[in-house]
């Protein structure tokens, strides 16, 4: 996949193959946005001045049948035509995103776009003019007022220093965040590899690992090989009070500390991580990655992006988003909504309720509204293999058919995915077999290229 957003904002995704949608095993929200979609399309057609994103989706010449037999259930392809703005493409169908630049009184455009030739590809762009600095400015001045006179916050100083450090030549072109709420002993080779892949694709990135355990001499020792290579990574203990000051989650955190919130049966750590990532992006802006996300290529062209984990086989619009990869500007209103939702609906007893389900809920709720400007990328971007099939990445070739399948899946991921979420919970114990897809990926994405890769 070439994602090339140049001045004309043209995104080309070549060789999008037809099977990635098969990870759709959820059929979730089918909110009736159809009307809104149609309206905004008409609206768009009326506004030729819109900046237009094209996603070109050539139909793969040789979509190999083996692929579907390995990774997919045979799902009937009832192509319910949703929206197709492109009709005249010969070799590829175009998916058009339209983004209005500075429109006066513009309604939110929710673009659900679908390729005609390849109905499995769906993408969405939400945008509107109301994502503007006014609300942010108000918030900022509030921070100023309330913040003045408060004791100097160590956390914010450390963050400032790290991102602005002279010794780094001010070269923090990309701000990355990870969170690590577990013990230092469990920060293993896989996590270190995720960091390698991040720097392989972004040598001028800066990574902060939000972690109390890693923010220690032992943690620094783990990160030492990165320092020695001149890569900009550090670990900082999170300060929830600082991050969520003036958000509705402040009260939630206070209550939690006072023991008035039932953390539930599930570990609070994961759930705090779900909240923490939102606060980090809201406060600083940048790219959040789970520690089991292998980065394959630069995210440099992406802004305000969240990824779909699954799409609905029938409607071709997304059915579940995931929060393992998020790229947002500082103060983005969608982040605020996520934080708000977390504070208002926290339920420590339901799996995923405060994480992937949360972002899905909020995005489907705000998608018709003014004031939000973001893009949902298709599963292939960050979640090319569904969690239930993640094992297939770790297997070496079993026979000729399987070998062919491995190769084409590998090519697909290499050419079209930006990252691969390894779904650690499912894959942690798996061995990387000789000739497996993940082994190839690791040899492409390593910085140190140690033999430990083989053990992941």
Chain contacts with ligand NAG (rule: CB under 6 A): 29-34, 80, 82, 99, 101, 112, 127, 129, 131, 169, 266-267, 269-271, 303-304, 315, 317, 347-348, 350-355, 364, 373, 398-399, 401-402
The beta-carbon contacts of 137-143 under 8 Å, at least 24 apart in sequence, are: 139/246, 139/331, 142/246, 143/245, 143/246
Dihedral over Cα of 201, 230, 190, 441: its sign: positive
Q: Closest CB to ligand NAG among 122 and 447?
A: 122
Q: With contact defined as beta carbons under 8 Å apart, do 161 and 406 qualify?
A: no
Q: Which residue has the tokens 């098969």?
A: 22
Min. distance of Cβ 146 from ligand NAG in angstroms?
Answer: 28
The least distance separating ligand NAG from the CB of residue 170, rounded to whole angstroms, comes to 8
In the complex with ligand NAG, which residue's Cβ is closer, 244 or 405? Answer: 405
CB 440, min distance to ligand NAG, A: 17
Cβ–Cβ < 8 Å for 370, 278: no
Encoded tokens for 241: 């009070």
| Residue number with the smallest Cβ distance to ligand NAG | 270
Least CB distance from residue 250 to ligand NAG, whole Å? 20
2: which DSSP letter? Answer: B
Beta partners for 375? 125, 305
Strand stretches in 184-330, DSSP E = 205-210, 232-236, 286-289, 293-295, 305-311, 318-328
Q: How far is the CB of 429 from ligand NAG (least distance, A)?
A: 17
For the CB of residue 82, give the shortest distance to ligand NAG in the complex, in Å: 5
Name the residue nearer to ligand NAG (CB basis): 52 or 454: 52
Cβ distance to ligand NAG smaller for residue 147 or 391: 391
CB of 231 to ligand NAG, least distance (A): 12
Where does residue 249 fall: left (phi above 0), alpha (psi -120 to 50 degrees), or beta otherwise? alpha
Nearer to ligand NAG, 117 or 232 (CB): 232
Closer Cβ to ligand NAG, 31 or 77, answer by number: 31
CA-nearest of 184, 420, 158 to 289 is: 420
Q: In angstroms, rounded to a whole number, what is the distance separating the alpha carbons of residues 414 and 45?
A: 35
Q: On the CB side of 126, how many CA atoms lie within 13 Å of its CA? A: 24
Nearer to ligand NAG, 60 or 348 (CB): 348
């Amino acid at each position: 996949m070439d994602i090339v957003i140049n001045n004309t904002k043209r995104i080309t995704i070549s060789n999008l193959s037809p099977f990635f949608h098969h990870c759709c095993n959820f059929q979730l929200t089918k909110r009736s946005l159809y009307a809104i979609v149609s309206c905004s399309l008409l609206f768009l057609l009326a506004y030729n001045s819109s900046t237009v994103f094209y996603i070109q989706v050539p139909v793969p010449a040789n979509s190999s049948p083996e692929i579907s037999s390995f990774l997919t259930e045979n799902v009937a392809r009832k192509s319910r035509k949703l929206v197709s703005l492109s009709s005249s493409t010969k070799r590829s169908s175009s998916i058009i995103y339209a983004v209005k630049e500075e429109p006066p009184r513009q309604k939110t455009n929710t673009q659900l776009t679908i390729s005609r030739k390849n109905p499995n590809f769906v993408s969405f762009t939400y945008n509107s003019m109301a994502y503007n600095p006014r609300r942010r400015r108000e918030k900022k001045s509030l921070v100023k007022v309330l913040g003045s006179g408060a004791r100097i916050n160590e956390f914010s100083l450390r963050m400032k220093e790290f991102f602005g450090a002279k010794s780094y030549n001010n070269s923090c072109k990309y701000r990355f965040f990870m969170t690590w709420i577990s013990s230092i002993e469990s920060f293993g080779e896989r996590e270190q590899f995720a960091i390698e892949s991040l720097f392989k694709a972004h040598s001028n990135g800066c990574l902060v690992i939000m972690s109390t355990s890693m923010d220690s001499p032992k943690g620094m020792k783990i990160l030492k090989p990165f320092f020695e290579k001149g890569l900009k990574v550090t670990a900082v203990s999170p300060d929830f009070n600082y991050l969520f000051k003036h958000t509705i989650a402040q009260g939630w955190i206070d209550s939690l500390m006072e023991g008035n919130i039932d953390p539930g049966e599930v570990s609070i750590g994961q759930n705090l991580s779900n909240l923490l990532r939102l606060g980090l992006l809201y406060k600083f802006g940048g790219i959040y990655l789970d520690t089991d996300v292998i980065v394959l290529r630069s995210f440099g062209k992406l802004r305000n992006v969240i990824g779909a984990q699954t799409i609905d086989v029938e409607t071709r619009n997304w059915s579940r988003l995931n929060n393992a990869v998020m790229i947002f500007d500082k103060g983005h209103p969608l982040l605020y909504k996520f934080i708000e939702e977390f504070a208002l609906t926290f339920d420590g007893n339901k799996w995923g309720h405060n994480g992937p389900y949360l972002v899905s809920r909020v995005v489907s709720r705000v998608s018709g509204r003014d004031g939000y400007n973001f893009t949902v990328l298709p599963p292939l971007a960050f979640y090319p293999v569904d969690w239930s099939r993640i094992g297939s990445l770790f297997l070496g070739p079993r026979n000729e058919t399987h070998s062919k399948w491995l190769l084409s899946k590998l090519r697909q991921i290499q050419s079209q995915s930006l990252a691969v979420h390894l779904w650690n919970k499912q894959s942690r114990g798996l061995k990387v077999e000789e000739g497996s897809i993940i082994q190839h990926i690791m040899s492409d994405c390593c910085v140190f290229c140690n033999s430990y890769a083989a053990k992941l």
